[in-house]
Amino acid sequence: MSARRDEGSRSAIGAGRARAGRGLAAATVLAACLGLGCPGGEAPAVRGPAQVQVEVASVTSLADRREYVGNVRAVDRVEIRARVRGYLVGQLFEDGARVEKGALLFRIDPVPFEVALAEAKGQLARARAEADRAERDLARTEALFESGVVSDERIDERRSTRDETAAAVDAARAAVKAAELELSYAAIRAPVAGRIGRALVDVGNLVGESNQDTILAVLVQEDPVHVYFAAPEGEAVPLLGEPAAIPVEIRLGDGSRYANEGVVDYVEPTVDATRGTLALRARVPNPEGVLRPGQFVRVVAEFPDVPKAIVVAQRAVLDEQGGSYVLIVGAEDKVERRPVRPGRMVEGRQEILEGLVGGERVVVDGVQGVRPGDVVAVESGTGKAAEAASGESSADG
């Protein structure tokens, strides 16, 4: 029985050794396949240089068009007021209508002012009559004075009376002018041409009470209009010389272009210290009344062209926390990282203010797959085509 147990143990040990031998053989075969290749298998591919597309940074003349938010304001905004006290008896315009200069807008009851004018004219006539009598009395007294009939005191009295009556005539004449002026205030006319708002006081109400000038309506001049906007201090430098030479284009809220162009006619003499901006004003024709005071628009200012601007494709400029940079392909097709300072964006092209001098091969596609120091393969034709485009742009500039 003990012999049978020994024989079973030897059989188990032999089976284990056989399985280990088969595992070792399998590992040896696998290693041979990996190192030398197996029939029917493929060797792993070797990765070559990453492919990128480049564009040559071009030097060209760049149109300098800058866009700002603007606010339309009337050149003249007039509050129509009642300048005399009385009852409003007429409104002679439609709310919101266009009115011409001198058009009759409101009428205040003129009867009290007509009465006052008639009374003033009567006072003037009376003063003139007294002045005429004083002149005649003085003439007679002077004749008697020459004959020695009257005293010096008498002649002085006549002369004083003549002067007093003459002054009374002047005062009566001024009273007539004042009465005429108040009568004219009863008819309220438009001081400028423009569009008038709604009437703020209804007919029948007493206006100008307690010596206050009641506001009856507001009239705004529509043509031309002013458009105010603010530009960053650095961008406004070209405006400090001859602002009227800067034309502006207006774009409405729906993005459409307004038909008439304007010009910058005023630059604020001081910079807003809290915002770092400079306030500007453009004068814009508005014959059709499309632009309304208070309306917000986009102002496109056409500054003088930049003669030698360096531009690259917008997608070539990468941003990070410390600023912006581009990847360029330098000598031996090796990638280099170049910090840049971007300027304006013009039709998908990015202006570069600092960091490039023009002529560099800038990576525009494939930037995610390369790092500084990598050797890359420039896709066939991209570099030469970009160089040709750069040469044409430089020639045009």
Asked if residue 364 belongs to a domain, the reply is yes
**Number of domains the chain contains:** 3
User: Which pLDDT does position 149 carry in this prediction?
Assistant: 79
Give the C-alpha separation, 214 to 225, whole Å.
27
297 and 253 inside one domain: yes
How many CB atoms are located within 10 Å of the residue 260 CB? 15
141: in domain: yes
Neighbours of 358 (CB within 10 A): 18
Q: Are residues 148 and 189 in the same domain?
A: yes
Q: Quick check: is 11 in a domain?
A: no
Which candidate, 242, 129, 109, 245, places its Cα nearest to that of 188?
A: 109
CA–CA dist 303, 294 (Å, integer): 26
Look at residues 286, 305, 324 and tell me which one is the last residue of a structural domain: 305
pLDDT in the model for residue 331? 81
Tell me the pTM. Answer: 0.59
Each residue's pLDDT tens digit in the chain (397 positions)?
Answer: 444 444 444 444 444 444 444 444 444 444 444 444 444 445 555 567 888 889 999 988 887 778 899 999 999 999 999 989 999 999 999 999 999 999 999 999 999 999 999 999 999 999 999 999 999 988 888 888 888 777 888 888 888 999 999 999 999 999 999 999 999 999 999 999 999 999 999 999 999 876 567 899 999 998 899 999 998 887 776 666 655 578 899 999 898 999 999 998 888 888 888 888 989 999 999 998 899 999 999 999 887 777 888 999 988 999 888 889 999 998 888 999 999 998 878 777 888 988 999 889 999 988 888 888 888 888 754 444 444 444 444 444 4
pLDDT attached to residue 242: 58
Co-location of 145 and 236 in the same domain: no
Asked whether residue 182 falls in the same domain as residue 87, the answer is yes
Distance, in Å, from the CA atom of 294 to the CA atom of 291, rounded to the nearest integer, reads 9
Q: Taking Cα atoms as reference points, which of 385, 378, 380 lies closest to residue 333?
A: 378
* CATH number of the domain bearing residue 335: 2.40.420.20
Distance CA 352, CA 344 (A): 8
Angle between helices 111-146 and 152-185 (to 10 degrees): 160
- The CATH number that applies at residue 265 is 2.40.30.170
- Beta strands 50-56 and 376-378, pairing class: parallel
Place of tokens 């438009």: 190
272 CB contacts (<8 Å, ≥6 apart)? 230, 278, 279
Residues 280 and 162 in one domain: no
* 262 and 238 part of one domain: yes
Residue-range definition of the domain harbouring residue 275: 65-75+222-305
Backbone angles phi, psi at 164, to 5 degrees: -65, -45
> Do 209 and 234 fall into the same domain?
no
Ramachandran angles phi, psi of 324, nearest 5°: -120, 155
Query: Do the domain assignments include residue 279?
Result: yes
- Point out the domain boundary residue: 267, 288, 305: 305
Beta bridge partners of 334: 375
Which one, of 322, 48, 91, lies nearest residue 187 by Cα?
Answer: 91
DSSP label of 145? H
Token pair in block for residue 226: 């002013």
Q: What are the start-end ranges of the H helices in 147-239?
A: 152-185
Considering the domain architecture, whether residues 238 and 256 belong to the same structural domain is answered as yes
Residue 123: partners with Cβ closer than 8 Å, 6 or more residues away: 172, 175, 176
- Judge if the upstream peptide bond of residue 304 is cis by omega within 30 degrees of 0: no
Residue 251 within any structural domain of the chain:
yes
Is 216 in the same domain as 240? no
To which residue do tokens 């423009």 refer?
Answer: 194
In a domain, 384, yes or no: yes
Whether 92 and 215 share a structural domain: yes
Which pLDDT value is given to residue 128? Answer: 94
Pick from 188, 205, 220: which residue ends a domain? 220
Q: In this structure, are residues 141 and 154 in contact, taking their beta carbons and an 8 Å threshold?
A: yes
319 shares a domain with 296: no
From the list 169, 184, 171, 167, the residue with the least C-alpha distance to 117 is 184
DSSP 334-387: BEEEEEEEEEEEETTEEEEEES--S--EEEEE-GGG--TT-BEEEPTTHHHHHH
Q: Per the domain annotation, does 25 fall within a domain?
A: no
Please name which of 182, 201, 178, 183 lies closest in space to residue 79, comparing C-alpha atoms.
Answer: 201
321 and 386 share one domain: yes
336 domain-assigned:
yes
